[in-house]
């Protein structure tokens, strides 16, 4: 069972923007497993709603559930590790595999910066020190 409940989260919140995230390369969606076995680097796949999500819907709503169409991209990182990304940026002519990987790297750097800021803020709130002392200590 995938750790990420992609379909469920997007269906529940009716997300209107674009998405890009890293997906596990093992213990993942069946469509991703099939993609990895194919040896391809880039494809469009369908991710069906999970059984858990389906079971929480009224029977009439269950009949209307559809799969989520996503682009799956396989990239070998500089450290040799394989990364798998899922996105709704479906046009490979506009966004190459390398550009998808670069977008993810940039997005990850923003998350790290936000985590760092949150850590500083919590330290500031809990330490009783002024921000100048905290920022010079970090």
Residues 70-101 have pLDDT tens digits of 999 999 888 998 999 999 999 999 999 999 99
pTM of the full predicted structure?
0.67
Residue 112 and residue 49 in contact, taking contact as beta carbons nearer than 8 Å? no
How distant is the alpha carbon of residue 10 from its chain centre? 11
How distant is the alpha carbon of residue 21 from its chain centre? 2
pLDDT at residue 136 in the model: 41
- Write b or e for each residue in 31-42: b if 16 or more Cβ atoms lie within 10 A of its Cβ, otherwise e: bbeebbeeeeeb
Cα distance between residue 71 and residue 97, in whole Å? 10
The CA-to-CA distance between both ends of the chain, in Å, stands at 39
- State the sign of the Cα–Cα–Cα–Cα dihedral 31, 37, 40, 41: positive
- Residue 67 or 10, more confident: 67
Please give the share of the chain, as a percent, with pLDDT higher than 70: 66
Angle at 17 between CA 11 and CA 26, to 5 degrees: 60
Look-up: residue for tokens 């970090």? Answer: 138
How many CA atoms lie less than 13 Å away from 14 in the CB half-sphere?
0
């Amino acid at each position: 069972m995938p750790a990420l409940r992609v379909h469920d989260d997007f269906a529940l919140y009716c997300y209107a923007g674009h998405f890009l995230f890293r997906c596990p390369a093992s213990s993942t969606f069946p469509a991703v497993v099939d993609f990895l076995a194919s040896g391809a680097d880039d494809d469009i796949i369908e991710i069906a709603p999970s059984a858990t999500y389906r079971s929480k819907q009224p029977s009439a709503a269950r009949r209307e559930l559809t799969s989520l169409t996503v682009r799956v991209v396989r990239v070998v990182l500089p450290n040799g590790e394989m990364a798998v990304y899922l996105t709704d940026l479906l046009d490979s002519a506009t966004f190459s595999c390398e550009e998808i990987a670069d977008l993810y790297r940039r997005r990850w750097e923003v998350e790290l910066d936000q985590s760092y800021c949150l850590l500083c803020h919590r330290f500031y709130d809990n330490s009783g020190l002024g921000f100048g002392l905290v920022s010079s200590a970090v």
